[in-house]
Structure 1
Amino acid sequence: MFNPPSFDALLQQLNEAQRQWWQQWAQAGVASGGATAPVSGGAAWPAWPGTDPEWLSRQTDFYRAQLDLWLGLVGAKAPARLIEPEKGDRRFNAPEWEEPLFSFIKQNYLLTAKWLMDSVSAAASDEATREKLAFFTRQYIDAISPANFALTNPEVLKLAAETNGESLADGMKKLLADVQKGSITMTDEREFEVGRNLAVTPGTVVFENELFQLLQYTPSTGQVFETPLLIVPPCVNKYYIMDLQPENSMVRWIVEQGYTTFLVSWRSIPPELGKLKWDDYVADGVIQAAEVVREIIRRDKMNVLSFCIGGELLATAIPVMQARGLDWFESLTLMTVMLDHTDPGDIKHFIDWNVVRTREPMLESGGVISGKELARTFSALRANDLIWNYVVNNYLKGQTPPPFDLLYWNNDSANLALPMHTFFLENMYLNNNLVKPGSFSLCGVPIDLTRIDLPSYVFAAREDHIVPWRSAYGTTRLFRGPLRFVLGASGHIAGTINPVSANKRNYWVNDALPEAPEQWFEAAQSRPGSWWQDWHDWLAPRSGKLVAAPKKPGSKQHAPIEPAPGRYVKARLD
């Protein structure tokens, strides 16, 4: 007579099968060099936790839940509703996912995803390994979502039936077009053009070299502050994130407040400039731009504002200027800038010494780092929103994404010089040298950020996935001058580009600067609306008196070259 195995025996068999699967997955990852490869320094794949009592308890719960799902699907018991998507997960919002078969598929996926994440948490031997494994496991889980495949997505199947397959055919055309251009289409790009409805704040190019163009914006007020403002945006993307459409242009708003405004428009680096170093961006970029501003306005000093990696360029330029006796800056503003890379966030999982070592043989000959490659890395940090969402809607449903200026900018990438970018990865991300005075030199000057004593305004965004706000707070422990730290709601872009007129979101202020960021936040006061007004209130007293606005851009030495936004920002990658 056949005696079925006990549940405990079945559990042991399943646990053994899962152990073997786990080892095969690890070995496959090591062989391919993929996300499941050893984390660093030859670290071994974590041991299987199959004998741990807590692990066995979780396994039991997982198998029971799977059994309940199957029994519910075949009608042996009431359909189970055992797990719900996490808050903010919109992949399964459509009512079609509540149909019995697809509810089963959805819940099976969510239960398995939770099991995988629990497996990583239990198996990893140390915090760093656990964090990296969890990140790439989440990447894997996001990629295999049933929402990403036509046959397991009820919305896709329903639309295909309603359109007699035309939606799938249209999706295939969109996929082939994106394959040809090498990037995922995130917005209807036909609706935008730089210089037509993006980057349209009136101004003039008053200087250019092989690295950047300098824009001087046309005053929109009769009087302006006598101290000019120089803006140093990031060189990874185009500057016009700060000058999108008129209603959400930070540059336009700054000009309207009465600031004589100059802006660095970095060039997307062509192959012939592939030998440029970080030193070149400092000397021929930041310092050169500041020198031109002084010559045009005929003022000894200026205020300077920077954004993201532009802030790191600016911060490293100041010690060089100090060594040369160039006391040109009245104040410094850093927007979502990370100088202390102790905890750089999830992007650290894409950066290790192998990246630097593979580039070392090419540093002398030079080369370019593709802006599209950089954009893909940043998109991978939020894969569901910036990758899989468009895979489903564009390729499986055949839809054209709606026009969105921010996403147009996001796909308008810029190349970087390989030596410059490699220096950035090695010294900032891997060695965290910006917090180690004198650990490296630029332009022959040892870099020591602790000697920066300028009045500084440091802005961070609470949900920033590129510059975690707690890391940005580290700047308060570096500079020795008076400093104001302000925290905005939302993320890297939406938190920063938050027009006053929209009156959206909020920001936090606290004049005290305790050692720990959590202590700062606990005592911070929340204020409604945009942080821009707070910054203006801080900057205006440091901008001198009001004087008549300049009637013409440039000067005899720096004659106008062409209207803003200039040639450099209009160049697009093939």
Structure 2
Amino acid sequence: MSERDRTPADAGTLALPAAGLRLAAAVSARPLLLLRRGGDWVAELGRVGLGRSALAPDVPAGPVAPVARCAAQVLLATTGAVSGLLDDAVASPDVPLPAADAERLRATLAGLTALLLPAPGPLMITGSDGIAATGGTDPLPGDDHGRPATTAGPDPAAGDVADRVFTPPGADTPPVPFDTGARDARGGPVPGRDVAATPGAVVLRTPMFELLQYLPRTETVHDTPVLVVPPLVHRYWLADLAPGYSLVEHLLGKGLQVFALSWRPAGPADADRDLDAHAAAVLDAVDACGRITRAPRVSLLGVRTGGLLTAAVQAHQAAIGLDDRVAAVAYLATVLDQSDALPGFAPDPATVAETAGLAARDGVLDGATAVRAWAWRRGPDRVLPWAVPRGGGTADLDGRAARAMRAWVSDLLPLPAGLHTDLAALAAASGDGGGPDRPDVRVLGTPVRFAELRRDSYLVAADDDPVQPWTGGYRTAQRLGGACRLVLAPGDQAGALIAPPSVATGFRAAPCSTGDGVAQRWRARAEAVEGSWWDDLAAWLVERSGTMRDAPPELGGRRLRPVFPAPGTYLGETAPV
């Protein structure tokens, strides 16, 4: 057995010093990360000295409590900084620290901290990125969309779930929302380790969504950030599926700054969370991305039905003369006009009536019902465009990634009654083949006119989906008013989006104008490209993402502070009853 594969149980007396030497080698290979962690540590010590630290150790009351609290905060800040160095060392592309060494050093770190700072329960320390719960964020002073300023709502993650827990696995170990890798995934993939594992932090939390900012992977980054707008029924982490199979991770590696929205599961009290509310949430996130990065524009990346929401937001921006706030838009497996993608099909009236009654009664539709509610019929034929085929595009994935995909397929969000009503109205407006550019379809008071979407666009269509033919993506491309590039990727609407260079074999691509409006003619003329369309998308975004700058030394900024490690708290939250 190699030293790299050994566990702490296999360690000899020299294992800990050897792990320390390998940590020093891994960290010295990336000196800027060492400077960044050191800067974060010094800044936290300054907040401790000023009495503004969010670290909250359990210190008994007494005359020396203030001094003891400060000492404990210094200890926790130091522990968090060292833990962050361990994470950086494991992720180092040059001289990575073996995972067994990281686990050994982390256990030693936890033991020393527990010795110096006794606690009644499992030791609570800040996460690996030096992140502590602050109970929300400062309110945004205002925005450029004619809407009231957004304030962060009550923090549902306050108290003992705010930080990562460093405890050895065991039968008596209490459950934690997202662990650091010490536990086995017997109950399925573990968020933050096996899935949705790209390092980052929640930098804005509202009662409707969390905004995640991911830790840069390069020493310089492009000016313009990329915001991932997730599906409306599935969770956001298809774009961050698993290590090695994460589009977010891939874009970070190309020097792009990446953010993502994570929806809070809706409950009966959220019945009025309609299309306008979701569009306003995206605009809030755009404001926050621009504010943190000090960038005038943001690129949007809509995933599946998130692309429909992205297009609606962009249409609103164009209607009020602010479309220049968007640098570029990518639509991944998005169909803007379902009736055009499925000729002759229309929403099933019986299903629409039944689910409308359920939504009115319960306030929400559970995820599975929401997928069935989006039923389209043509005579005896009935299809479910929102459904992910059985297997979820796992045929070409290894075991770990296939398990992650199956977990994502079943990780559904409830659909609020208001959003269900608006989507049904949108489908009815375009169901006669007249197209979605109808003045009676409005978002935030402005008509949805997709022909006014003139920002550069990148569309990915699935070549092998059993329900939605790829021609639906081509028809969507014809609806847009600006220059666009269409990519035809192998797989269904979920599997086609997982195309890491390590497994992708090729794709077809051409400008959307190719083919003179005839889909099969476009296919015949499209270029066959070897490799992954992820590289193609990254290059396309880089061209539209401005100049390079030094990577930010810490996440958040301009009064939007990290409040929780990625993947956040809403991912682990179940729908309210």
TM-score by length of 1: 0.60
Which residue of 2 is the match for residue 279 of structure 1?
Answer: 276
Q: Quote how far apart the aligned CAs of 1:444 are.
A: 1.3
The counterpart of 1:557, out of the listed 556, 559, 567, is 559
Residues 542 and 551 (structure 1), Cα distance of their counterparts in 2 relative to 1, 3 Å cut: same
Q: Quote how far apart the aligned CAs of 1:344 are.
A: 4.0
8 Å CA contact 1:460–1:487 kept in 2: the answer is yes
8 Å CA contact 2:307–2:332 kept in 1: the answer is yes
Aligned-partner SS, 1:295: helix
8 Å CA contact 1:331–1:455 kept in 2: the answer is yes
* Structure 2, unaligned runs of 5 or more: 1-184, 376-382, 392-399
| C-alpha separation in 2, matches of 1:341 and 1:453 | 21
Which residue of 1 is the match for residue 549 of structure 2?
Answer: 547
Q: Quote how far apart the aligned CAs of 1:530 are.
A: 1.3
| C-alpha separation in 1, matches of 2:332 and 2:500 | 15
Aligned-partner SS, 2:508: strand
Aligned AA (1:223)? T
Which residue of 1 is the match for residue 368 of structure 2?
Answer: 372
Q: Deviations over 1:281-318 (max 9, x none)?
A: 111x2111101111111111111111111010010111
| C-alpha separation in 2, matches of 1:347 and 1:192 | 40
Which residue of 2 is the match for residue 420 of structure 1?
Answer: 419
Q: Quote how far apart the aligned CAs of 1:403 are.
A: 6.8
**Counterparts of 1:387-406 in structure 2 under 5 Å?**
404-406=403-405
The counterpart of 2:519, out of the listed 488, 509, 517, is 517
Residues 197 and 262 (structure 1), Cα distance of their counterparts in 2 relative to 1, 3 Å cut: same
| C-alpha separation in 2, matches of 1:214 and 1:447 | 25
- The answer as to 2:568 corresponding to 1:566 is yes
Which residue of 2 is the match for residue 316 of structure 1?
Answer: 312
Aligned AA (1:294)? G
Which residue of 1 is the match for residue 215 of structure 2?
Answer: 218
| C-alpha separation in 2, matches of 1:570 and 1:555 | 25
| C-alpha separation in 1, matches of 2:565 and 2:512 | 42
Which residue of 2 is the match for residue 355 of structure 1?
Answer: 351
Aligned-partner SS, 1:317: helix
| C-alpha separation in 1, matches of 2:302 and 2:236 | 11
8 Å CA contact 1:412–1:572 kept in 2: the answer is no
- The answer as to 2:300 corresponding to 1:301 is no
Identity across matched positions, percent: 28
Aligned-partner SS, 1:404: helix
| C-alpha separation in 1, matches of 2:388 and 2:213 | 39
* Structure 1, unaligned runs of 5 or more: 1-187, 388-400
8 Å CA contact 2:304–2:334 kept in 1: the answer is yes
Which residue of 1 is the match for residue 339 of structure 2?
Answer: 342
Aligned-partner SS, 1:215: strand
Which residue of 1 is the match for residue 55 of structure 2?
Answer: none
- The answer as to 2:407 corresponding to 1:386 is no
**Counterparts of 1:129-278 in structure 2 under 5 Å?**
190-278=187-275
Aligned AA (2:421)? T
Q: Quote how far apart the aligned CAs of 1:189 are.
A: 6.7
Q: Deviations over 1:411-442 (max 9, x none)?
A: 11111101202321331366347633323112
| C-alpha separation in 2, matches of 1:521 and 1:267 | 39
Q: Going by fraction, where is helix more abundant, 1 or 2?
A: 1
- The answer as to 2:480 corresponding to 1:476 is no
Aligned AA (1:517)? A
Residues 253 and 262 (structure 1), Cα distance of their counterparts in 2 relative to 1, 3 Å cut: same
8 Å CA contact 1:287–1:321 kept in 2: the answer is no
Aligned-partner SS, 2:315: helix
Which residue of 2 is the match for residue 490 of structure 1?
Answer: 491
| C-alpha separation in 1, matches of 2:344 and 2:554 | 44
8 Å CA contact 2:506–2:528 kept in 1: the answer is no
Aligned AA (1:489)? P
| C-alpha separation in 2, matches of 1:502 and 1:450 | 36
| C-alpha separation in 2, matches of 1:450 and 1:223 | 36
Aligned AA (1:288)? D
8 Å CA contact 1:345–1:465 kept in 2: the answer is no
Residues 360 and 190 (structure 1), Cα distance of their counterparts in 2 relative to 1, 3 Å cut: closer
| C-alpha separation in 2, matches of 1:257 and 1:318 | 25
8 Å CA contact 1:509–1:526 kept in 2: the answer is no
| C-alpha separation in 1, matches of 2:366 and 2:512 | 41
Which residue of 2 is the match for residue 113 of structure 1?
Answer: none
8 Å CA contact 2:370–2:415 kept in 1: the answer is no
Aligned-partner SS, 1:246: coil
**Counterparts of 1:328-339 in structure 2 under 5 Å?**
328-339=325-336
Which residue of 1 is the match for residue 508 of structure 2?
Answer: 507
8 Å CA contact 1:508–1:524 kept in 2: the answer is yes
Q: Deviations over 1:335-394 (max 9, x none)?
A: 111012224449958x4223333455677777111113245679986999739xxxxxxx
| C-alpha separation in 2, matches of 1:333 and 1:381 | 24
Which residue of 1 is the match for residue 446 of structure 2?
Answer: 445
Which residue of 1 is the match for residue 115 of structure 2?
Answer: none
| C-alpha separation in 2, matches of 1:360 and 1:413 | 19
8 Å CA contact 2:241–2:401 kept in 1: the answer is no
Which residue of 1 is the match for residue 6 of structure 2?
Answer: none
Aligned-partner SS, 2:390: helix
| C-alpha separation in 1, matches of 2:371 and 2:450 | 29
Q: Quote how far apart the aligned CAs of 1:274 are.
A: 1.6
8 Å CA contact 2:462–2:493 kept in 1: the answer is yes
Residues 324 and 510 (structure 1), Cα distance of their counterparts in 2 relative to 1, 3 Å cut: closer
| C-alpha separation in 2, matches of 1:415 and 1:255 | 30
Decide which moves more: 332-341 or 522-531.
522-531
| C-alpha separation in 2, matches of 1:200 and 1:307 | 18
Which residue of 2 is the match for residue 408 of structure 1?
Answer: 407
Aligned-partner SS, 2:440: coil
| C-alpha separation in 2, matches of 1:482 and 1:258 | 24
Q: Deviations over 1:203-245 (max 9, x none)?
A: 0100011211000000010000111111111121111111121
Residues 189 and 449 (structure 1), Cα distance of their counterparts in 2 relative to 1, 3 Å cut: farther
Q: Quote how far apart the aligned CAs of 1:490 are.
A: 1.6
Q: Quote how far apart the aligned CAs of 1:525 are.
A: 2.0
| C-alpha separation in 1, matches of 2:356 and 2:194 | 42
Aligned-partner SS, 1:457: strand
Aligned AA (1:368)? V
Which residue of 2 is the match for residue 135 of structure 1?
Answer: none
Aligned AA (1:542)? R
